[in-house]
Chain A
Amino acid sequence: MSVSCRYVVAVLVPDRVGLLRDVTAGVAELGGNIAGIRQTVVDGFFSLVFTSVHPPGTTADALRRQLAIRLDADTSIVVRECPNQPPPPLPDGTRYVVVTRGPDRPGTIHAISAFFVEHGINIEDWQVATEGADVLYTAQVTLPAVVAFQPLQTAFRARMAARGLAATICHENIFRATTEVGPIKGLLRR
């Protein structure tokens, strides 16, 4: 039985109009179907990660070449085989939003991420933005049940305060409750 091919692709290129159209055209020309996709622009650079499923026999090199035809010469394209298996289950725990704010200094992101590594916590999403004179770092994490929230919050605030940063860890539901319009019951069941 022939098995479809599944790839994970990363594309990095200076941003311009039409990049997403060009990438997806390349995928479609090879009969591929995009499964998951995330795109953003960081400091003027178009950054895209997606997974796609292709007919049997489609190679990683063929996909990379097809994308290169459509994209600018200075585009970085990485194509890797992505096994046909279900994604790893989400970690069991409670989701929190980590917000850190302060002046832009080298090493801040490292300090934040190192803190969470020390506590065995994976950062699942991450955003950085400027807010007036400050830089705002926003992360989403899942705290395993074994991690006690209050001591973690206290330790994180102290660690960040030593770097001149204001920091907090807030339950995700607070943000969802105040920005979504669906029933609150749904948040508690999630």
Chain B
Amino acid sequence: MLARQDVLTTLRMVQEENLDVRTVTLGINLNVCASRDPSALVDAVRARIVTQARDLVPCCDEVAARYGLPIVNKRVAVSPASILLEGHTPETAVRLAQALDAAAEEVRVDLIGGFSAFVQKGITPGERVLIESLAAALTATRRVCASLNVGTTRAGLNVDAVQLAAHQIVAAAEASRAQRGFACAKLVVFANMPEDNPFMAGAVLGAGEAERVVNVGVSGPGVVKRAVDRLLQRDPDATLDELAEEIKHTAFRVTRTGELIGREVAERLGVPFGVVDLSLAPTPRVGDSVGEIYQALGVARLGAPGTTAAVMLLNDAVKKGGAFASSAVGGLSGAFIPVMEDHALSQAVTDGTLTLEKLEAMTAVCSVGLDMILLPGHISAEAIGGLIMDEAAIGIANRKTTGVRVIPVPGAHVGDRVDFGGLFGAGVVMQPACMEGAAAFVRRGGHIPAPIHSLMN
């Protein structure tokens, strides 16, 4: 018989704390679809995704019903589309994105990732085609998510790729002006991009992965927040190490649940199980916020001195609990701080307590970077390039993933409110303390060499 206290703890997570599985993402290798004929290429891509992912949503629904746990998002991540675009034109790249979009709709997933390129050292013609098509491709599709890897700790930072990406972000914002720049919400620029990430917009099936694989993202931050609340209710004077311990235990349970669901889905689909991504991914709902956890820990005003330390505490405790829970941990595995998707972070930006620079500091100790941040429409490509370079530098130097997903909102100014609705959330436009002044540095292009791995101070 199960111990009563264990039953109660788990039941509370299921019934009262919204324990769920945030995403089940099916990775599919599309390289077999390569063709010199654009029509043959896009037809093959669409057919392959539909064939391989047809059972994903019904299977997830069955497993969710069996366990009484919601699987919030079912998604597909494909191998980097840039590989398929060697020898093709930007027009074909847009057609390819549309084929991905149509296939995603047919298999009833809300987002599909992998319109991606790894360009940390150099850019092939196919990768250039993909990058140069980003604005058009993301505007012409609803479900397609794109990602670029512009730097790694081993390779350094490809500034030429950063420049291309920054110009595409500006172009994508303008191309989706009617949607207030929404196309940019589906594009993330990474350093040290993981190849098994199940979360959008950066989900992709990397080169070292299997033909198909199921990766899962664990439950959202609400469960952790309530665990912290409960401990503080019992012991208002709990110390930070006691809080870290509580978070660690909760992360253990959450991770085990995610792996259980992921493995069962994988088994039913006849697909290898990949990883559990420990990331706490918030949604705009109250009670599903990473920012609320920092507040529960005692950082009443997000952005106040101490916020970065709170991020580190949370991130570390989640990783420790998760790493003990499963030997299949991967992906991004850290606390996300997507400003628009987290009502507490968004409110802090509105209140002016949380600045872009503080967010940047927070990304030094958590995943995944400057995420879902609204910028003024008049921001230059060079300023965006500088933001990407700064963020990538943090990742490259600290041997961790960092990313930039920013949305310049055409016609908008600092303080203007933008609402994308749904999971993408709402927020106000913010900007760096200094908008200009590094253009010459960014425009130099070239490559920032990989950092030295000794003399670590």
Contacts and interface: CB of A to CB of B under 8 A. Distances in A.
A172 B252 CA distance: 17
B15 A174 contact: no
B10 A179 contact: yes
Contact of A168 (B9, B15, B65): B15
B414 interface: no
Interface string A149-190: 110010000000000000011111111111101011101100
Given A179-B2, A185-B263, A136 B8 contact: yes
B257 A97 contact: no
Contact of B68 (A138, A171, A187, A188): A171
Interface stretch (A2-10, A14-22, A47-55, A123-131): A123-131
A179 B263 CA distance: 17
Interface string B1-31: 1111011111101110000000000000000
B67 interface: yes
A181 B263 CA distance: 16
A99 interface: yes
Given A127-B4, A129-B4, A184 B256 contact: yes
Interface in B322-353: 324, 326-327
B123 interface: no
Interface in B415-435: none
Nearest to B1: A125
A127 B15 contact: no
Nearest to B276: A184
A142 interface: no
Contacts of B69: 174
Given A149-B66, A171-B67, A188-B267, A178 B326 contact: no
B4 A178 contact: no
Contacts of B65: 149-150
B48 interface: no
B4 A136 contact: yes
B264 interface: yes
A129 to B, nearest CB: 5
Contacts of A149: 65-66
Interface residues of A, number: 31
A170 B260 contact: no
A175 B68 contact: no
Interface in B220-266: 252-253, 256-257, 259-260, 263-264
A179 B66 contact: no
Contact of A184 (B2, B11, B260): B260
A168 B260 CA distance: 20
B6 A178 contact: yes
B267 A175 contact: no
A8 to B, nearest CB: 19
A152 B259 CA distance: 26
Contacts of B259: 177, 184
B264 A99 contact: no
Nearest to A173: B260
Contacts of A169: 68
Nearest to A40: B1
B7 A187 contact: no
B67 A174 contact: yes
B68 A127 contact: no
Contacts of B256: 177-178, 184
A140 B263 contact: no
B68 A184 contact: no
Contact of B13 (A99, A125, A127, A178): A178
Contact of A173 (B6, B67, B326): B67
Contact of B14 (A136, A170, A184, A188): A170
Contact of B8 (A131, A172, A184, A187): A131
Nearest to A185: B263
Nearest to A139: B1
A173 B256 CA distance: 10
23 contacts: A97-B2, A99-B11, A127-B1, A140-B1, A140-B2, A149-B65, A149-B66, A150-B65, A168-B68, A170-B67, A171-B67, A174-B68, A174-B69, A174-B260, A175-B10, A177-B257, A178-B6, A178-B9, A179-B3, A181-B324, A184-B256, A184-B259, A184-B326
Interface of A: 94, 97, 99, 125, 127, 129, 131, 136, 138, 140, 149-150, 153, 168-179, 181, 183-185, 187-188
Q: Would you list the 7 A-B pairs with minimal beta carbon distance, nearest first?
A: A178-B253, A179-B6, A177-B256, A177-B260, A178-B10, A184-B259, A125-B1
